[in-house]
Amino acid sequence: MPVMNLTTTHKIIIAAALLFSVTGALAAKLFYQPPAKAEAIYSQALEDEKNGDFANAYYLFGKVKQGSILKPPALFHQAQNAAKLDDTKSVQKVYKILYEGYPAHKLGIKAKYLYAIEIIDSNPAQAKKYFEWLVQEYPDTECAIASEYFLGLLIADKYKDKPIPVSERTDAENHFRTYLEKAPAGRWGMNAVNNWLAMSENINPDDKLLMARTYYLFADYENADKILSALEPQESWALNAMNLFALGDPLKARSVTETGLSDYAKYVDHKDVYDAIDKYFAATGYGLSVVNRLLTYANDKGQDYLWYLKCSAIPAAEKEACYIAFYNKYPTGQYSAEILAGLFFEKIKKGDYDSAQKIGKDYLMKFPRTNSAPLVLFWLGKIAQRQDNYKDYNHYYNLVISKYPDSYYAYRAYLNLHHLDTPIVSRQLKEVPVEFPYKNKDTLIVKLGELKDYDLISEFTDDEFIKSWVSYKKRDFTKSTIEARVAMDKLEEKPDRHDLRWRLVYPLVYYETVKMYANENNAPLMQSILREESYFNPNARSVTDARGLMQLMPDTAREVAQRYGIPLVSPDDLYNPVTNVRLGSQYYLFLKGMLDGRDISSIAAYNGGIGSVQRWKSNLNYQDTDEFVEQIPYQETQLYVKKVFRSYWNYVRIYGD
């Protein structure tokens, strides 16, 4: 066999190949880990952390290798466990590894912020650089907002025992001010106020008002009062009134509110004026006489709100005149859309369809995306239907369904469009689970969800639907449903009914129990009552002592239990989901039997009482169900009917065939 002579070049190539092979194998050993093994290690580490074995949890999280998507969260957990072991050196070391190794990862950014806090005493200059970097690069994040506080604190601490130069004091004040403006009730709010007060003697009135607001939001009403009582009333009166109500001094608070509305309303933000008015009503009781009293004082901001409340409270015969007077006075005000919609419906009640159509079209031109737009679209369709104008009613009904698909008026439009006499569209729902709310899944978030590391997910996502999903997975159904509802309400264009986010807004929680006892009640409708009454909180209790999922009053529950032989030992039994749903469903059946089997009347009676509904049906002047609902005198009951049937419609829309 011939011997091959290797040149120097060949030797170098072979040596390089061998080196690459060795380093590649070493790199694979250091960085690669089968996903199943990484997940098993991570899961066990989570379990140890949960059980308080922080040392072993720290060790196991460190065994997750760098090539795994779980490495950044594993590092974050390591730092948290080191903190629980009071191992400051390891905390700093791990945070540094995390932000240097994963600088663009949200956990890396958070780690840099937390590392800066860790070294604020030992290396304030470095901490300052990191806080400034966060403010510069990620200005709207929670970390950046909190960094403003720490930047102010660094200056305050630097001059704690010596005079502070004017320029430095100005910088510190700017940081504290920015923090309080962006997060007046934030974690560091009280610290920011107290450090600012300790650092500066001459603080301008605007900044003192900012401090007083933070004291108020933290329920430190006495310190808020000390600041507010020393300020001129022009810009402080509304907050001062609210704080006085909170302190239990209603007489003085009412006086401050009345004087403020009369003399200083123009100096205060609209929201503060409205909040002060609401606190006034909460202390004195809401009624037409109280509204009229405040109107004698109001001559600027707040006057439109009070006029709106007056039009809502006056007798039906006077409403049209009130609406016209309001709209002429405030044609573009905050409540003008609601008032114009009210005037629109007054014309419909009187059968003046020509005027109603003119007002309705004018409304849609001026206020196309307001809360009352679905009502106006629906009733324009209803007028056209009454006039046998197929083209127009088809147009308006389809418009409300397409633009506001999840609204009560989309539901009513669907019924009228298809000439359905019953409010029950479907009695069957396809039971499918709540899933991660996006089809294009974030691999890491889904993986952490599978591992039940829910708290960490919340550390690095701002998506409200994902936060709702996390709450759902933690079985906090009330929080989850509210979070998803708020997030969906923010979307101007609603997604398709098959979108997974809808399941978070309208989850089928306790539905197995509902189906067990709904009988002919219709399970989707009972499910809707659960959602609107308690948001699936079995321990819910109202100020009137209504309890549990379906918010039953103990006396009502006792009567139903005795009548139908359902066990009920004490009112606390109503916190049991099965007992509550069984009694609530039976009570609804009773109401329905007393009201000729009519579901809308029964839903109204569930909230407003059967006697009230029978009286309304006798006294109100209405042509059909739609007019009856719009004229229910109790605002709470009218809204309740609309909310329950909105929920019903959405359950059928999302889960129905």
Q: What positions carry a catalytic annotation?
A: 533
Residue 536's identity, in one-letter code, is F
Half-sphere exposure of 151 (CA within 13 A, CB side): 27
**SS3 state at 552:** strand
CA dist 326 and 310 (Å) reads: 10
Token digits for 426? 């479907």
Token digits for 524? 């989707």
Task: Give just the sign of the alpha carbon dihedral 391, 396, 402, 408.
Answer: negative
CA dist 373 and 359 (Å) reads: 12
CA dist 67 and 226 (Å) reads: 57
CA dist 246 and 640 (Å) reads: 30
DSSP state of 87: -
User: Exposure of 14 by Cβ count < 10 A (0-12 exposed, 13-18 middle, 19+ buried)?
Assistant: exposed
Q: Residue written as tokens 């009503």?
A: 281
CA dist 369 and 372 (Å) reads: 8
Q: What is the biggest distance separating any 2 CA atoms in the chain, rounded to whole angstroms? A: 116
Does residue 436 contact residue 500 with C-beta atoms inside 8 Å?
yes
**Three state DSSP letters for 411-480:** HHHHHHHCCCCCCCCCCCCCCCCCCCCCCCCCHHHHHHHHCCCHHHHHHCCCCHHHHHHHHHHCCCHHHH
Half-sphere exposure of 422 (CA within 13 A, CB side): 6
User: What is the number of other CB atoms lying within 10 angstroms of the CB of residue 353?
Assistant: 18
- CA-wise closest residue to 500 among 527, 475, 466: 466
- CA-wise closest residue to 391 among 378, 401, 381: 381
